[in-house]
């Protein structure tokens, strides 16, 4: 007898088609809610974005943006980072915390770019992840926002929302990236990342999410884990960072 292929189970038990449709509906609604969604790190070149993303670990984008104008002016190239005076660079990076480790990181990054990529940031994931301190998350940020190469950036906000939306049950960033990527067209991956990060920072918080003020509440299987009263929920909504 011929064998029948069982449909791959979805995290919520809904059909695969229903899950895809719901995921895309949520992304469309978030796109309408956050029409200005973008990377919240300031940059003008791939190198600036790569450095800023590495520096953003364990600090806020706002603090990084306050530090990088002087940093980028002082170190305009990979060669400049590679040959930097550690004491001078540490002084510039002090406001970000962990400044000694971050000094070592950006100097090592500069050296690797000079030695292996002629001082240029490579536009390929396989190359980016070979750089010191650069994982898939950082690589996808750079690819999507500096090179226009679609990528899903699984940070803490993205992972949390993907699980709450029932798109995945995994805590593994690589698995989350692949499972969500199967639901959303590749061309939309970068903006999807922005939509979820913006929503996670503003409404769907890790603690006390503002369910009653959520634009995608009707399609969210986790509705009710946070404040559902619209007036009370509205008070939990956080504004975006100042520009």
Is residue 187 flagged as an active site residue? no
- Taking Cα atoms as reference points, which of 169, 139, 143 lies closest to residue 155? 139
- pLDDT tens digits, residue range 139-188? 999 999 999 999 999 999 999 999 999 999 999 999 999 999 999 999 99
CATH code of domain 16-37+151-234: 1.10.1670.10
Instruction: Identify the active-site residue in 27, 137, 186, 235.
Output: 137
Residue 5 has pLDDT above 70, yes or no: no
Pinpoint the residues of the chain covered by CATH 1.10.340.30. 46-143
* pLDDT given for residue 1 in this prediction: 45
Pinpoint the residues of the chain covered by CATH 1.10.1670.10. 16-37+151-234
107: Cβ contacts below 8 Å, ≥ 6 apart: 81, 82, 84, 86, 89
* pLDDT given for residue 170 in this prediction: 97
Mean pLDDT, the chain, as a whole number? 94
Note the pTM of the prediction, 2 decimals.
0.88
Residues 190-199, mean pLDDT to the nearest whole number? 97
Name the H helices within the chain. Answer: 16-33, 46-55, 61-74, 78-82, 86-93, 99-117, 125-128, 136-146, 156-164, 173-181, 189-202, 230-234
* pLDDT given for residue 10 in this prediction: 87
Residue 242: pLDDT band (50, 70, 90) is very low
Q: Which CATH number fits domain 46-143: 1.10.340.30, 1.10.357.10, 3.40.50.1100, 3.40.30.10?
A: 1.10.340.30
Instruction: Identify the active-site residue in 42, 127, 155, 188.
Output: 155
Is residue 137 flagged as an active site residue? yes
């Amino acid at each position: 007898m011929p064998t029948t292929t069982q449909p791959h189970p979805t995290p919520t038990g809904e059909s695969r088609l229903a899950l895809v449709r719901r995921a895309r509906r949520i992304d469309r609604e978030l796109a309408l809610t956050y029409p200005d969604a973008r990377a919240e790190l300031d940059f003008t070149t791939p190198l600036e974005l790569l450095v800023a993303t590495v520096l953003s670990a364990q600090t806020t984008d706002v603090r990084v943006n306050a530090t990088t104008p002087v940093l980028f002016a002082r170190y305009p190239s990979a060669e400049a980072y590679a040959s930097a005076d550690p004491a001078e660079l540490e002084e510039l990076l002090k406001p970000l915390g962990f400044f000694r480790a971050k000094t070592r990181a950006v100097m090592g990054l500069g050296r690797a770019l000079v030695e292996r990529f002629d001082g240029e940031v490579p536009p390929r994931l396989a190359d980016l992840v070979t750089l010191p301190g650069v994982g898939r998350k950082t690589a996808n940020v750079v690819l999507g926002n500096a090179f226009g190469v679609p990528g899903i950036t699984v940070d803490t906000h993205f992972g949390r929302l993907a699980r709450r939306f029932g798109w995945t049950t995994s805590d593994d960033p690589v698995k989350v990236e692949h499972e969500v990527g199967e639901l959303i067209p590749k061309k939309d991956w970068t903006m999807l990342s922005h939509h979820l990060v913006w929503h996670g920072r503003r409404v769907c918080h890790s603690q006390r999410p503002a369910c009653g003020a959520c634009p995608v509440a009707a399609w969210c299987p986790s509705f009710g884990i946070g404040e559902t009263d619209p007036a009370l929920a509205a008070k939990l909504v956080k504004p975006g960072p100042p520009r």
